[in-house]
Amino acid sequence: MIVSLDAIDRNIIRLLRLNGRMPNSELAQQVGLSPSACLRRINNLEASGVIRGYTAIVAGAADEGIIAIVRITLERQTEAYLNRFEAAVRSHPEIQECFLMTGDADYILRASAPSAAAYEAIHKEILSRLPGVVRIHSSIAMRNVLHPVSSSGRLHSGKAR
């Protein structure tokens, strides 16, 4: 379903991405609506599936260790190969995200580990053993630009203070 978003909807989404726990009264003030009108728009965005949920960005291994962006190429791209690969990926919590792609990689994964040595073990014991995998290309993230974590471990907006 394609949902038409106006400038206010896009602004609500932008602000919620920055702070999903922003009080409705503050959000309403920032987008220029009454609190009830703002809440109605949020409810509509949720009901239409534009906003699919809210999450917490957790400090720990996922943010303070190694984040690897992994491009996977499969031996074949048949439905059976894709289904086997996807089922196997779901059984490994070290893999936080998995995207079926167009282009030269069949999948892009995001995996986390507390250290480079721990990621090496994930690569050797998990990724290389996933069904149908013929090529693995890993890149290590240096820092998260959209969700930076300060040295105190607290999330900040990344804006100059």
Q: What is the DSSP string of 60-72?
A: SHHHHSEEEEEEE
With 0-12 / 13-18 / 19 or more C-beta atoms within 10 angstroms meaning exposed / middle / buried, residue 65 is middle
Taking the model in full, what pTM does it have? 0.61
**Amino acid 159: pLDDT:** 45
Residue 71: CB atoms within 10 Å: 17
- Say how far apart CA 105 and CA 70 lie, in whole Å: 9
Helix (H) or strand (E) holding 116: helix 116-125
Q: Using only the alpha carbons of the chain, give its radius of gyration.
A: 20
- Alpha-carbon gap, residue 10 to 16, rounded angstroms: 10
Average pLDDT over residues 126-140: 96
Q: 7-47 and 61-140: same fold? A: no
Tell which residue, 101, 102, 99, 136, has the closest CA to residue 119: 136
How far apart are alpha carbons 35 and 37 in whole angstroms? Answer: 6
In this prediction, residue 59 carries a pLDDT of 57
DSSP codes joined into one string, 31-83: HT--HHHHHHHHHHHHHTTSS--------SHHHHSEEEEEEEEES--SHHHHH
Q: Does domain 61-140 have CATH number 3.30.70.920?
A: yes
Query: How is the chain split into domains, by residue range?
Result: 7-47, 61-140
Closest CA to 122 of 152, 92, 158, 98: 92
What's 7-47's CATH class?
A: mainly alpha
Least confident of 9-18, 53-62, 121-130, 135-144: 53-62
Query: Once rounded to an integer, what is the mean pLDDT over residues 19-28?
Result: 94
What pLDDT is attached to residue 63?
46
